[in-house]
């Protein structure tokens, strides 16, 4: 077993954008504390997996929607929500030729992790053959948080260790846990602390069972607040997240982050340019995220396909301390669904549509994307107020 290493949580600063402190102005600075990071039996494998996913020009395809949410996607093209239809759609995605050129990891729902193609080949084997790392959604969804301002907390810690061990046996090598923070609802200190603590416990349990944890406190787009307010909340959330990650002895080199981009609220009167989104987002990350973290895999959060790609491209116009890439669901799948329409004869065209979006985001990860030639459908926003997975 490797020897323990140590980290210190120090605040990062940037002079470019001012921000208001959440702390009381008269409060004395907290003492600096060193936390021991336990390097367990899976340490080397965790680091290798995280680096593989955070490889140049590649990102994550998120197809971990619950059966209910997948049903909504299928209903949008007139299909019933049956296991057969869900399997057919996910087979279309996971067997796309050449997908591994642009995709390094795929997040699956539990049902999908255990499914196979119509010919009997396990989806996990399809991914491994394409050099794509299989991942698994492990949280059990959001429920109301008592004592909060109508906010939520994420359940799923009960039994997580045994489930994670089984997922590892099935071939999963990374995990995802999504919790949310709502700016219109505050956010309350209780909700932020609950989100951060839950993510930290999940991350520690995942690493103990060989799974690289994706840490995802999604700051919802809902609201009419300006971008400065989003920055303020994001800094508070990520500060707490890393504090509790360290308290739980999580090895930073063996995690990935899935943050929201720092944007104005979806209902704000002014939209931010990709350059502005990049400036505010990178400022937040540099203030809060240690360079030991190998990869930042952004969620799209209801942005249009083109918008999510343009914003990612803007963030990769100069070198970053981490691999800055994508973990998109709707921003990779929307064109695919519209093309497929549930018709077998449209599978090849649908897979080509997936490759178009995957390649565009691959180029954005390299800072080489151009929106020239994008169709109008790719520019349509996909924000849904109160969206649930």
pLDDT (0 to 100) of residue 304 = 86
Question: 76 and 235 in contact (C-beta within 8 Å)?
Answer: no
pLDDT (0 to 100) of residue 13 = 39
Pairwise CA distance, residues 168 & 150, whole Å: 36
**344: Cβ contacts below 8 Å, ≥ 6 apart:** none
Beta strand residue intervals within the chain, DSSP E? 5-8, 34-37, 59-63, 103-108, 133-137, 142-144, 152-154, 174-181, 212-219, 256-257, 295-298, 323-328
The single residue of 110, 151, 216, 240 carrying the catalytic annotation is 216
| Residue ranges in the chain modelled with pLDDT below 70 | 1-39, 373-389
Pairwise CA distance, residues 363 & 317, whole Å: 11
The single residue of 258, 279, 305, 307 carrying the catalytic annotation is 258
Q: 3-class DSSP state for residue 1?
A: coil
Look up 216 and say whether it is catalytic: yes
**298: Cβ contacts below 8 Å, ≥ 6 apart:** 258, 259, 260, 261, 308, 311, 312, 324, 325, 326, 327, 328
Short-list 313, 255, 259, 249, CA closest to 284 = 259
Domain range 42-368, CATH architecture:
Alpha-Beta Barrel (3.20)
From the number of C-beta atoms within 10 Å of its C-beta (0-12, 13-18, 19+), residue 18 rates as exposed
pLDDT (0 to 100) of residue 214 = 98
Look up 121 and say whether it is catalytic: no
What's the pTM?
Answer: 0.87
Rg of the chain in Å (alpha carbons): 20
Pairwise CA distance, residues 364 & 342, whole Å: 30
């Amino acid at each position: 077993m490797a020897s323990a290493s140590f980290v210190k949580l120090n605040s990062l600063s940037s002079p470019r954008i001012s921000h208001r402190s959440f702390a009381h102005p008269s409060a004395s600075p907290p003492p600096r504390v060193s936390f021991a990071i336990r390097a367990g039996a899976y340490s080397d494998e965790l680091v290798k997996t995280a680096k593989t996913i955070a490889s140049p020009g590649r990102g994550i395809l998120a197809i971990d929607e619950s059966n209910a949410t997948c049903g909504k996607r299928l209903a949008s093209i007139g299909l019933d929500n049956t296991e057969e239809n869900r399997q057919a759609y996910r087979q279309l995605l996971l067997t796309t030729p050449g997908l591994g050129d642009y995709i390094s990891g795929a997040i699956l729902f539990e049902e999908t992790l255990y499914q196979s193609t119509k010919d009997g080949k396990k989806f996990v084997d399809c991914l491994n053959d394409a050099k794509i790392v299989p991942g698994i959604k492990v949280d059990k969804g959001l429920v109301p948080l008592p004592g909060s301002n109508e906010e939520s907390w994420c359940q799923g810690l009960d039994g997580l260790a045994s489930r994670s061990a089984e997922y590892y046996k099935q071939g999963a090598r990374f995990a995802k846990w999504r919790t949310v923070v709502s700016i219109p609802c505050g956010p309350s200190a209780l909700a932020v602390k609950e989100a951060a603590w839950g993510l930290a416990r999940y991350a520690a349990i995942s690493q103990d069972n060989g799974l690289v944890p994706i840490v995802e406190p999604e700051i919802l787009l809902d609201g009419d607040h300006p971008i400065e307010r989003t920055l303020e909340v994001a800094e508070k959330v990520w500060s707490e997240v890393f504090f509790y990650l360290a308290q739980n002895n999580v090895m930073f080199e063996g995690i990935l982050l899935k943050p929201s981009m720092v944007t104005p609220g979806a209902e704000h009167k002014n939209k931010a340019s990709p350059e502005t989104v990049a400036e505010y987002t990178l400022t937040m990350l540099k203030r809060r995220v240690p360079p030991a973290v190998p990869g930042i895999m952004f969620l799209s959060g209801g942005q249009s396909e083109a918008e999510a790609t343009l914003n990612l491209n803007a963030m990769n116009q100069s070198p970053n301390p981490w691999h800055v890439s994508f973990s998109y669901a709707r921003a990779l799948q929307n064109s695919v669904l519209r093309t497929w329409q549930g018709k077998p004869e449209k599978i090849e065209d649908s897979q080509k549509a997936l490759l178009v979006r995957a390649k565009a985001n691959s180029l954005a990860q390299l800072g080489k994307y151009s929106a020239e030639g994008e169709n109008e459908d790719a520019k349509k926003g996909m924000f849904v107020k109160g969206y649930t997975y």
